[in-house]
Amino acid sequence: MTGPGFDLGRVRGDFPLLRQEVRGRALVYLDSAATGQKPQAVLDALTRYYTHDNANVHRGVHILSERSTQAYEDAREAVRRFLNAKDAREVIFVRGTTEAINLVAATYGRKSVGPGDEVLISAMEHHSNIVPWQMVCDAAGAKLRVIPVDDRGELRLDAVDALLTERTRLLAITHVSNALGSINPIKELVAKAHAKGIPVLVDGAQSVTHFPVDVQDLDCDFFAFSGHKLFGPTGIGVLYGKLAMLESLPPYQGGGDMILSVTMEKTVYNRVPHRFEAGTPDMAGAVGLGAAIRYLEGVGLSAIAQHDQWLLAYATQALEAVPGLKLVGTAPKKTGVLSFTLADVHPHDVGTILDQEGICIRTGHHCAQPLMQRFGVAATVRASLALYNTPEDVDALVKGLHKVREVFA
Amino acid sequence: MSSDLKDLYQEVVLEHSKRPRNFRVVEGATCTAEGYNPLCGDQLSVTLKMDGDVIRDIGFQGQGCAISKASASLMTGAVKDKTRAEAEALFERVHTLVTEGPEKVDPETLGKLAVLSGVSEFPARVKCASLAWHTLHAALDGRSTSVSTE
């Protein structure tokens, strides 16, 4: 794998947060799977919005509301283009991936899952794609079933056919594992599920940051992601849904903007997507997310994917050379996520020592406790890569790990 | 290594984390409790044998980082043969030590537990150091439900 496919120095320069020293050392940020840093373009868009355009959307007759509405709907169009959705009405703004999944659970789940039915997830789900389905199943008297994962962290595809039954009402599955980096063959899974008339929700929180996603090509029915991991603001996220599917769903939250008319006797609900966006939305967040998408498109989504694979290959080799280090998650198809244990040293202790070196990594169970149990560990150290990371960041991590080994020698 | 880090991972801490004392289930225990730190997935159980108001035997088991294991190990040594009230008072002092720093506690009253003083410079690690103590507190209270540091 050659080169990053873009000017890495220049991209790095676009992220002001990275230009700082912490604990007397240059910051090394390797925790982008938790949240991404923001390019100047996003910070500027937020400032510009609040400085010039701030007003409530879809309500005012004045110029500011017009501008704000335009900016908000432009952001929706940017997301449509980013996901290659057919129609901007298929893009619903929510708070994040978690809310997107809960929206589907509260609408589709409540409507379609009944006693004796099944919801199928995988063993590598994040808690936010486990708990809402447990709640749906508990309320309905339905059963949660789980696609197993093999020792490398790959989905056991051979088990899928038997798990997709006539009682399965939904397959809810992550595109990329946040704790292992494994990329799931979503297109193949969607085809299998659709062959049995089962809709599919894809948790895309960890995929959109690493490679281009085309929801029409995947043919998934729902796709969820968060703005903050995509180098946009916090508090904004997206639920994509096929138009016909969204139109068939009952409302989610009630309130302003999700209605056409209200009398004390009866409410006529608004059309999709507004039907699912009750109350004043996070307008600035949407505008910031739109700016993040335009920024990433400017760098080039394919070039970002190339950088990810290039740096992942470099980092895998560098980490494997550290004595006592064991990678957890070695699927052949994965993104720039390196989860590992270091001999007998608890990940929490590794995290504290690396932090003293100015290196930010994540330690713990990554909100994927069942997956940790699957691999027989309570926790791992996770270094996650993004477009602004360099081989020098990886070298600093390796050096830091040698320090850890010294302390615990 | 920075001096803060040296204070955190003192020899005694590392030694106790590698070879934890009383790492066992107390036979014929009169009370027990489970402690859990959802932040890192650490989990430990404390078993006690009470003789009236006195802790005659104590053991712990579970998994955790060096800080939580060392704290648990040191705790078992410190509270054995102490009364419930003495153990609770010691917990208070350890809590002050790891949250507010060594200058807030008289080191004489802490014994070996003073090696946990470095934790106060690492706010993210306070829960690690106090997990075993919260669990002891629950066990002494006779609470059967598990405790969480969250």
Q: Which of A348, A354, A375 to mutate to test the interface with B (most CBs of B within 10 A)?
A: A348
Q: What is the pLDDT of residues A219-240, one digit of tens each?
A: 999 999 999 999 999 999 999 9
Smallest CA–CA separation between B8 and chain A, in Å?
10
Residue of A nearest to B9 (CA): A407
pLDDT value at residue A138: 98
A165 pLDDT band, cuts 50/70/90, is: very high
Q: What distance in Å separates the CA atoms of residue B76 and residue A190, rounded to the nearest whole number?
A: 54
CA distances from B95 to A213, B89, B110 (A): 50, 10, 11
Provide the edge-to-edge strand list for the sheet that holds A362-364. A325-327, A337-342, A380-384, A362-364
Q: Which residues of B fall within a CB distance of 8 Å from A348?
A: 40, 42, 64-65, 67, 125, 128
Percent of chain B past pLDDT 90, that is, above it, reads 72
DSSP at A52: I
Percent of chain A past pLDDT 70, that is, above it, reads 100
What are all long-range contacts of A40-45, with beta carbons under 8 Å and residues at least 24 apart? A40/A14, A40/A15, A40/A16, A41/A14, A41/A291, A41/A292, A41/A294, A41/A295, A42/A231, A42/A232, A42/A233, A42/A288, A42/A291, A42/A292, A42/A295, A43/A16, A44/A291, A45/A287, A45/A288, A45/A290, A45/A291
A405 pLDDT band, cuts 50/70/90, is: very high
Amino acid type, B55: I
CB-nearest partner of B125 from A345, A352, A379: A352
Strands A21-22 and A168-174 come out as: unpaired
Strands A200-203 and A222-226 come out as: parallel
Residue of A nearest to B40 (CA): A364
CA distances from B81 to A126, A152, B50 (A): 45, 49, 9
CB-nearest partner of A372 from B41, B42, B125: B41
What is the pTM (predicted TM-score) of this model? Answer: 0.93
Q: Which residues of B fall within a CB distance of 8 Å from A399?
A: none
- Choose the catalytic residue: A137, A220, A360, A367: A367
Q: Which two structure tokens, joined as six digits, stand for B23?
A: 């790492």
Residue spans of chain B under pLDDT 70: 143-150
pLDDT value at residue A1: 59
Q: What distance in Å separates the CA atoms of residue B118 and residue B6, rounded to the nearest whole number?
A: 8
pLDDT value at residue B145: 52
Q: Which of B3, B17, B65 to mutate to test the interface with A (most CBs of A within 10 A)?
A: B65
Smallest CA–CA separation between B37 and chain A, in Å?
10
CA-based nearest residue to A336, from A285, A393, A288, A375: A393
A220 in catalytic set: no
Q: What is the pLDDT of residues B93-136, one digit of tens each?
A: 999 999 999 899 887 888 899 999 999 999 989 999 999 999 99
CB-nearest partner of B66 from A349, A369, A372: A349
CB-nearest partner of B64 from A346, A406, A407: A346
Q: What is the pLDDT of residues A342-370, one digit of tens each?
A: 999 999 999 999 999 999 999 988 888 88
Interface of B with A (CB under 8 A): 1-2, 4-5, 8-9, 14, 39-43, 63-67, 122, 124-125, 128
Q: Which residues of A fall within a CB distance of 8 Å from B61?
A: none
Q: Do B65 and A349 touch (CB under 8 A)?
A: yes
Q: What distance in Å separates the CA atoms of residue B65 and residue B57, rounded to the nearest whole number?
A: 24
Smallest CA–CA separation between A400 and chain B, in Å?
11
Query: What does the mean pLDDT of chain A come to?
Result: 95
Interface of A with B (CB under 8 A): 23, 345-349, 352-353, 356, 363-365, 369, 372, 378-379, 403, 406-408
pLDDT value at residue B5: 87
Residue of A nearest to B69 (CA): A346
For A269, list phi and psi in degrees, rounded to 5: -80, 150
CA-based nearest residue to A131, from A106, A155, A112: A106
Q: Do B39 and A349 touch (CB under 8 A)?
A: no
Q: What 3-state class would DSSP assign to A274?
A: helix
CB-nearest partner of A379 from B9, B14, B40: B40
In this predicted model, which residue has the larger pLDDT, A203 or B6?
A203
Smallest CA–CA separation between A375 and chain B, in Å?
14
Q: What is the pLDDT of residues A29-66, one digit of tens each?
A: 999 999 999 999 999 999 999 999 999 998 778 999 99
Q: What distance in Å separates the CA atoms of residue A311 and residue A2, rounded to the nearest whole number?
A: 9
Q: Do A348 and B8 touch (CB under 8 A)?
A: no
Q: Which residues of A fall within a CB distance of 8 Å from B2?
A: 23, 356
Q: Do B40 and A348 touch (CB under 8 A)?
A: yes
A409 pLDDT band, cuts 50/70/90, is: confident
For A399, list phi and psi in degrees, rounded to 5: -60, -45
Smallest CA–CA separation between A310 and chain B, in Å?
31
CB-nearest partner of B40 from A364, A406, A407: A364
Residue of A nearest to B3 (CA): A356
Q: Return the number of CB contacts < 8 Å for A and B.
A: 53
Residues across chain B: 150
Q: Which residues of B fall within a CB distance of 8 Å from A403?
A: 1
Q: Which residues of A fall within a CB distance of 8 Å from B42?
A: 348, 378
